[in-house]
Amino acid sequence: MNEPTVHQGLAQGRVVIVTGAGRGLGRAHALAFARAGARVLVNDLGVALNGDGETGGSSPAGQVAEEVRELGGEAAVSTDDIADSEGAARLVRTALDRFGRLDTLVNNAGFLRDRMLVNLGEDDWDAVLRVHLKGHFLPMKHAAAHWRAEAKAGRTPRARIVNTSSGAGLLGAVGQGNYAAAKAGIAALTLVSAAEFGRYGVQVNAVAPAARTRMTERTFAEDMAAPQDGGFDAMAPENVSPLVVYLGSDAAEGVTGRVFEAEAGRVTVMDGWRRAAHADKGARWEPGELDDTVRALLATSPEPEPVYGAVSVDEARR
Ligand SMILES: NC(=O)c1ccc[n+]([C@@H]2O[C@H](COP(=O)([O-])OP(=O)(O)OC[C@H]3O[C@@H](n4cnc5c(N)ncnc54)[C@H](O)[C@@H]3O)[C@@H](O)[C@H]2O)c1
């Protein structure tokens, strides 16, 4: 049995959808919301790590819903594909039908098909963009349509959306061009939806997590292993959930349009694209003039963060 945590009660009375909640981070979020007092719609299509092999039925979403009930919480199950228009609409409808309201949407479902760009098949590009990017857009659209109707009826909600980006999307990652593009898109979608939905009482933020799940357990097996000595299990997915519960609660009033990295015991505000040095000629440049200008601008601008997995040109030639 899981121990109650300090954020117990923060989501009291809220109805929360968590997509991809049958395993890994989504499962941890669903259980944390339940422990914090929320009723939870546990969604999961039950696919393999590369998105293949839809199992349908109630497993693994059904198993997590059962775990929520064992904690004394209330849960319902959705096995809808969140990247399908009808599936996303049904997801939101199910929460409303089962619990009579919707307060928080956590977009988390997704999978990987890693390849170097020169070897990346078009199908693998499409599948990863679809599940992450469309799989965020469609549930947000249907949830926001409900909240807009509530606001227009004079019942402006204190609604929350928590999206799931990734360090790969914010800084880039070698071998993950499709995934990085989708996760960068999710960061941009977070800013746009926060700006558009604010007037309906909806706040939107994103987390870029790092944790030990089937997505990372092979690549980062050593770095992410649980300690043998019973010390703090830094890479447990449960460590990401408190921030997700907080952002999905009333307590986060006024926090919107932000991207946070969440890993182990650390919460980091990510500072996105912003203008650095500039030069303005007041007229059209000749291409040949730009070498000196661009180099001078780069010399006075901050160095970019390194891309995950990148080696320098010198190293690559060795
Ligand atoms: N684990 C990490 O360190 C890490 C790092 C950065 C970002 N993320 C992101 O966190 C999220 C959760 O990943 P995880 O590590 O827990 O992986 P996971 O594979 O354990 O869980 C993802 C779940 O999503 C479900 N899913 C996939 N496609 C679906 C669809 N179309 N509809 C409904 N459910 C679907 C899968 O069945 C699976 O249970 C993902 O968006 C991932 O990209 C994870």
For 65-75, write each residue's pLDDT tens digit.
999 999 999 99
Ramachandran region of residue 228, left (φ > 0), alpha (ψ -120 to 50) or beta? Answer: alpha
Kindly give the number of the ligand 1 atom that is closest to the alpha carbon of 28.
Answer: 16
Put the strands of the sheet holding 75-78 in their side by side order.
Answer: 75-78, 39-43, 15-18, 104-106, 159-164, 202-210, 259-263, 266-269
Q: What is the distance in A from the centroid of ligand 1 to the CA of 109?
A: 4
Q: For the chain, what is the mean pLDDT?
A: 94
- Residue 294 shares a structural domain with residue 182: no
Backbone φ and ψ of 16, nearest 5°:
-125, 130
Helix (H, G, I), strand (E, B) or coil at 112: coil
The DSSP bridge partners found for residue 208 are 261
Say if residue 134 is in the same domain as residue 36: yes
- Catalytic choice (179, 200, 246, 249): 179
- Residue 236 phi/psi, 5-degree rounding, is -65, 135
Q: Are residues 76 and 166 in the same domain?
A: yes
Structural domain of residue 304, as residue ranges? 287-317
First vs last Cα of the chain: how many Å apart?
Answer: 53
pLDDT band for 55, please (50, 70, 90 cuts).
Answer: low
Evaluate whether residue 69 is within a structural domain: yes
pLDDT computed for residue 99 by the predictor: 98
pLDDT at res. 6: 36
Does 10 reside within a domain?
no
* 208 alpha carbon – ligand 1 mean position (Å): 12
Q: Are 110 and 180 within one domain?
A: yes
Distances in Å between the Cα of 267 and the Cα atoms of 107, 190, 246 are 19, 18, 12
Residues 128 and 244 in one domain: yes
pLDDT, average across residues 269-295: 97
72, part of any domain: yes
Residues 53 and 134 in one domain: yes
The answer to whether the peptide bond before residue 4 is cis (omega within 30 degrees of 0) is no
Domain assignment present for residue 250? The answer is yes
Residue nearest to atom 25 of ligand 1 (CA): 20
Please report which confidence band the pLDDT of residue 231 belongs to, taking 50, 70 and 90 as the band edges. very high
Do 175 and 122 reside in the same domain of the chain?
Answer: yes
Cα 216 to averaged position of ligand 1 atoms, centre (Å): 10
Residue whose CA lies nearest to ligand 1 atom number 23: 20
Q: Which residues contact 260 (CB under 8 A, 6 or more apart)?
A: 205, 206, 207, 208, 243, 247, 267, 268, 269, 270
Query: Residues 134, 238: one domain?
Result: yes
For residues 139 and 235, membership in a common domain is answered with: yes
**Residue 172: inside a domain:** yes
> Residue 54 has what pLDDT?
61
pLDDT of 59 higher than 90 = no
Res. 152: pLDDT tops 60: yes
Pocket test of ligand 1: the residue of 43, 91, 213 to mutate, having most ligand atoms within 8 Å of its CB, is 213
Domains: count for the chain:
2
* Domain identity same for 263 and 294: no
179: annotated active-site residue: yes
CATH of the domain at 248: 3.40.50.720
Tell me the per-residue pLDDT of 3-48, one tens digit each, with 9 for 90 and over.
544 345 999 999 999 999 999 999 999 999 999 999 999 999 999 9
294 in the same domain as 259 = no
What's residue 5's pLDDT? 43
Q: Which residue among 166, 215, 239 is best mutated to probe the pocket of ligand 1, counting the most ligand atoms within 8 A of its Cβ?
A: 215
Same-domain pairing of 184 and 219 = yes
Buried b (16+ CB within 10 A) or exposed e, 214-232: ebbeeeeeeebeeeeeeee
pLDDT at 58 exceeding the cut of 70: no
* Res 2 pLDDT > 70: no
CA–centroid distance, residue 2 to ligand 1 (Å): 22
Instruction: Report, as an integer, the average pLDDT of 93-97.
Output: 98
**DSSP letter at 173?**
B
Quickly state the pLDDT bin for 312 (edges 50, 70, 90).
confident
Give yes or no: 183 in active site: yes
Confidence of residue 76 (pLDDT cuts 50, 70, 90): very high
pLDDT at 1 over 90: no
7 within some domain: no
Looking at 58, 166, 193, 241, which residue is catalytic? 166
Tell me if 230 is assigned to some domain: yes
Catalytic pick from 134, 165, 183, 249? 183
Q: Is residue 64 part of a domain?
A: yes
pLDDT in tens, 162-219: 999 999 999 999 999 999 999 999 999 999 999 999 999 999 999 999 999 999 987 8
